[in-house]
Amino acid sequence: MQYQMIFHCIKVNIRNNLRNFSTTPKEVLTKKRLVPLRPVSSKIDRSKLPARTKIDANTIEHLERLSLVDCANKQGIQTLEDAIAFADQILQVDTEGIEPLVTVLEDRPLQVRDDKVEEGNCIKEILSNAAVTEDKYFVAPPGNIPLEPRENLLHEEKDN
């Protein structure tokens, strides 16, 4: 479910952004305009894009296992494949000889603190976030339970 939501979000955002592109330029008066006045056609050379990634049943099962999110249905796979295809476009950016940027703060030293105890002893606050507690412990389901293999993998969601 979560997967789907995220992917939908991305889509929605893209549409929103496109709409913004076409409506806001009048308000921007700077000479160096980063946002074009009119929608421009994509510079992505579709012929150079890698073949559309196909998600097979094993992969989707693996993803479900990692995320514990129910996404192994046709709609979920479609959304995931769309997202991958969308992300594939970034491969056209020429990154030859450029170090990957991890953080925009990478040229600043990491701030460190002195070794002093100033936090903790707030068990009440900590435990108030937990659904189940006992004797000052958090209570969680037993250790790593292997996920039951699903029988109706790639099922159609009834709600859709």
Partner 1 sequence: MFLNRKLYDIFLVRTSSTKAYKSKWKSVVGLEVHAQIQSQSKLFSAAGTRFASGVNQNVSLFDAATPGTLPVLNKRCVEAGVLTALALNCRVNAVSMFDRKHYFYSDLPAGYQITQQRSPLANDGLLEFHVYTPGVHKTPYVKKSKIKQIQLEQDSGKSLHDDDRSLVDLNRAGIPLMEIVFEPDLGDGEEAAALIKELVVILQRLNTCSCKMEEGALRVDANVSIHKPNDSLGVRTEIKNIGSVRAVAGAITYEIKRQIAVLERGGTITNETRSWNSISKVTVPMRDKEEKQDYRYMPEPNLPPLYLAIGPSNWGCLNVDNLKASIPELPNETRNRLKNDYNLTPEQAVILVNESKLLDIFNETVLRMKLNAKLMANILINDFLSLIHKEKKVLEDITIPVEFLAETVMLLQKSAINRKTAQLLLKEMLSLPKDTPSEIVRSRGWYQITNEEELRTICKTVIKENPKILNQYLNGKLIVFDAFLGKIVAKSEGKADMSQVPSILKEVLKELKK
- Interface residue list for partner 1 (CB under 8 A): 62, 66, 68, 102-103, 105-106, 108-123, 125-127, 129, 134-144, 146
Smaller CB distance to partner 1: residue 144 or 160?
A: 144
Cβ of 60: how many Cβ atoms within 10 Å? 19
Would you say the C-alpha torsion 119, 124, 127, 133 has a positive or negative sign? positive
CB of 68 vs partner 1, minimal distance in Å: 7
CB of 60 vs partner 1, minimal distance in Å: 14
Between CA 64 and CA 147 the distance in angstroms is 9
CB of 133 vs partner 1, minimal distance in Å: 9
Smaller CB distance to partner 1: residue 97 or 149?
A: 149
Would you say the C-alpha torsion 29, 30, 34, 37 has a positive or negative sign? positive
Please name the helix (run of DSSP H) or strand (run of DSSP E) that holds residue 15, with its range, or none: helix 2-23
Smaller CB distance to partner 1: residue 62 or 74?
A: 62
